[in-house]
Chain A
């Protein structure tokens, strides 16, 4: 089912999600004009899933704080998280305006102590173990909280990630929901070229005892539905097929945009493209 045909499904407003993600991409591009480099493409590939987590999946208390938790294990995608936290009013716009400067708390990776950031990440292969510890602590204390964690496909190559993948079902945690931003790129190129035996990834995680669903990671309503419809008797992993650099044609699947800021011409072209498809 295409998200274009569905405006509202199970509590997730597809059109509103598309509008948000469009403005988030523009905001990230705006910030890119003030720094020499930032991770645009890794943020664009996971943006719909992170937006779905914050605006659809995570429960909010009456005072506006989140009842559920979120870790961005692929910390280099932090611009996706920062712009969402800004939109939610958790981060002040000045913080993003001064990104990567001594006047801001925001840098190239999420830092512990920053509002809305539950753990510092940046070194890959840490987030799933930390999230598992959180989920396990909530389980044994009886706290009603789901811990969501976003992994990059590149960091699935870290052995530590597999230690946590193997351990989570052993502990019987039902409140751990992982996402893999499967954009098929790591630092030096395509995973399918360099590490073809990485695939099939979903079957591997299933074999480790997880409930796994693999879908289009840019189809936020489908992501929302897959997560909310999970059986819930095991840890859950959503493998989201994505496009690195999604939304800007010349960035899509081009490795250089892993960590590069567009020049003024490129910036205008990107903004124009985003305006064209904007609802």
Chain B
């Protein structure tokens, strides 16, 4: 994902001289090296200093530039949260805050590097949009959107590297603020976002082998959430399943439940999120997800024990 981000960013940067990258001692490799070589003035490393990274990005945007601020998700959002709120969101500036390694992708680095609450936290800030692409192709679409939009700041949460392409055969294109059906079914709708989409697709495949007709939806835009689209998914399926690599607090599951209540939805609704807890363990990304209770097996087990009838 970070390589695709770097490549897309470089491409747009060649077209748009306003595009700048402000990093806090963490930088994507690959094409960003080309960006630095060709546009040295438009690449700033503030060092291990995230507050000035965001504040500077605000000042640069106030002078007409298009900065992206980039570092590991926890440091990008938590440390300078007030700068994101006051300097970016309150001023409604077109700055993109890129958080790399969202969720528990840094599975061997421990809890300090796990961005569990970032989605819920970012969604609470007025005027801050939140995009979490599920694969490198969506990263390219999302990056292009972030660079070209004029509607205020965006938190762009990325995974790390090596994520598979999941959207090559998607039924719909990426559109900011809209649900994206990767496949359409009639019985069960699986809503997910970010790299954990790979798990959601495995769950959908397993349900399909059980004879169910399954929709899979990339809910890449967490804010503004496509409320009408979610309401329609709740209305047109017997069961809706949310799988997200984020805390249940104000994440997608919680927001879908709000919409279900508001729209008097009658379908069954299950959400699977990271625990509201710190996990003191290390391993592969999948192992940390499993420690949080997120695996294909655990999701299918829960779904098997719950009736889905209306």
**Chain A residues proximal to chain B, CB less than 8 Å:** 112, 118-120, 122-123, 125-126, 128-138, 140-141, 143, 159-160, 163-164, 166-167, 171
Residue of A nearest to B86 (CB): A123
In the complex the two chains form, what is the Cα distance from A81 to B264 in whole Å? 52
Tell whether, in the assembled complex, residue A133 and residue B62 are in contact, meaning their CB atoms are under 8 Å apart.
Answer: yes
Given the contacts A112-B91, A140-B41, A167-B46, A129 and B63 also touching, CB distance less than 8 Å: no
Question: Chain B contacts of A137 at CB under 8 A?
Answer: 59-60, 62-65
Tell whether, in the assembled complex, residue B86 and residue A163 are in contact, meaning their CB atoms are under 8 Å apart.
Answer: no
Tell whether, in the assembled complex, residue A112 and residue B90 are in contact, meaning their CB atoms are under 8 Å apart.
Answer: yes
Tell whether, in the assembled complex, residue A167 and residue B52 are in contact, meaning their CB atoms are under 8 Å apart.
Answer: yes
B218 proximal to A (CB < 8 A): no
| Neighbour of A134 across the interface among B46, B54, B60, B82, CB < 8 A | B60
**Those of B79-110 within 8 Å (CB) of chain A:** 82-83, 86-87, 90-91
In the complex the two chains form, what is the Cα distance from A120 to B57 in whole Å? 15
Q: Which of B60, B65, B91 lies at the interface centre, i.e. has the most chain A CB atoms within 10 A of its CB? A: B60
Question: Chain B contacts of A130 at CB under 8 A?
Answer: 55-56, 58-59, 62, 87
In the complex the two chains form, what is the Cα distance from A125 to B54 in whole Å? 12
B74 proximal to A (CB < 8 A): no
In the complex the two chains form, what is the Cα distance from A140 to B66 in whole Å? 13
In the complex the two chains form, what is the Cα distance from A160 to B24 in whole Å? 13
Tell whether, in the assembled complex, residue A134 and residue B59 are in contact, meaning their CB atoms are under 8 Å apart.
Answer: yes
Tell whether, in the assembled complex, residue A120 and residue B86 are in contact, meaning their CB atoms are under 8 Å apart.
Answer: yes
Tell whether, in the assembled complex, residue A126 and residue B63 are in contact, meaning their CB atoms are under 8 Å apart.
Answer: no
Size class of the B contact interface (CB-based, 8 Å): 20 to 34
In the complex the two chains form, what is the Cα distance from A140 to B63 in whole Å? 11
Interface string of B35-77 (1 = CB under 8 A from A): 0000001101011010110111111111111010000000000
Question: Chain A contacts of B82 at CB under 8 A?
Answer: 123, 126
Question: Chain B contacts of A131 at CB under 8 A?
Answer: 59
* A–B pairs, 20, beta carbons within 8 Å: A112-B91, A119-B58, A119-B87, A119-B91, A120-B91, A126-B86, A129-B51, A129-B52, A129-B83, A130-B55, A133-B60, A133-B63, A137-B59, A138-B63, A141-B63, A143-B63, A163-B46, A167-B47, A167-B49, A167-B56
Name B's interface SS: helix
Tell whether, in the assembled complex, residue A119 and residue B83 are in contact, meaning their CB atoms are under 8 Å apart.
Answer: no
Question: Chain A contacts of B67 at CB under 8 A?
Answer: 133
Residue of B nearest to A135 (CB): B59
Question: Chain A contacts of B86 at CB under 8 A?
Answer: 120, 122-123, 126
Question: Chain A contacts of B62 at CB under 8 A?
Answer: 118-119, 130, 133-134, 137
Tell whether, in the assembled complex, residue B59 and residue A132 are in contact, meaning their CB atoms are under 8 Å apart.
Answer: yes
Question: Chain B contacts of A133 at CB under 8 A?
Answer: 55-63, 67
A46 CB to nearest chain B CB (Å): 21
Top-3 shortest CB links A-B: A133-B59, A129-B55, A137-B63
Q: Which of B41, B62, B63 lies at the interface centre, i.e. has the most chain A CB atoms within 10 A of its CB? A: B63
Question: Chain B contacts of A164 at CB under 8 A?
Answer: 52, 55-56
Question: Chain A contacts of B57 at CB under 8 A?
Answer: 133
Given the contacts A119-B58, A133-B60, A160 and B65 also touching, CB distance less than 8 Å: no
Residue of B nearest to A145 (CB): B63
In the complex the two chains form, what is the Cα distance from A235 to B215 in whole Å? 58
Given the contacts A137-B65, A166-B49, A132 and B55 also touching, CB distance less than 8 Å: yes
In the complex the two chains form, what is the Cα distance from A133 to B80 in whole Å? 15
In the complex the two chains form, what is the Cα distance from A132 to B59 in whole Å? 7
Given the contacts A119-B91, A134-B62, A129 and B54 also touching, CB distance less than 8 Å: yes
In the complex the two chains form, what is the Cα distance from A222 to B178 in whole Å? 59
B298 CB to nearest chain A CB (Å): 42
| Neighbour of A132 across the interface among B42, B56, B90, CB < 8 A | B56
Given the contacts A120-B90, A126-B87, A163 and B49 also touching, CB distance less than 8 Å: yes
| Neighbour of A171 across the interface among B44, B49, B91, CB < 8 A | B44
Tell whether, in the assembled complex, residue B55 and residue A136 are in contact, meaning their CB atoms are under 8 Å apart.
Answer: no
Given the contacts A137-B65, A140-B42, A171-B44, A159 and B60 also touching, CB distance less than 8 Å: no
In the complex the two chains form, what is the Cα distance from A163 to B54 in whole Å? 11
Tell whether, in the assembled complex, residue A163 and residue B51 are in contact, meaning their CB atoms are under 8 Å apart.
Answer: yes
A163 CB to nearest chain B CB (Å): 4
B86 CB to nearest chain A CB (Å): 5
In the complex the two chains form, what is the Cα distance from A30 to B61 in whole Å? 37
Question: Chain A contacts of B41 at CB under 8 A?
Answer: 140
Residue of A nearest to B65 (CB): A137
Residue of A nearest to B90 (CB): A120
In the complex the two chains form, what is the Cα distance from A135 to B57 in whole Å? 11
In the complex the two chains form, what is the Cα distance from A143 to B41 in whole Å? 14
A18 CB to nearest chain B CB (Å): 33
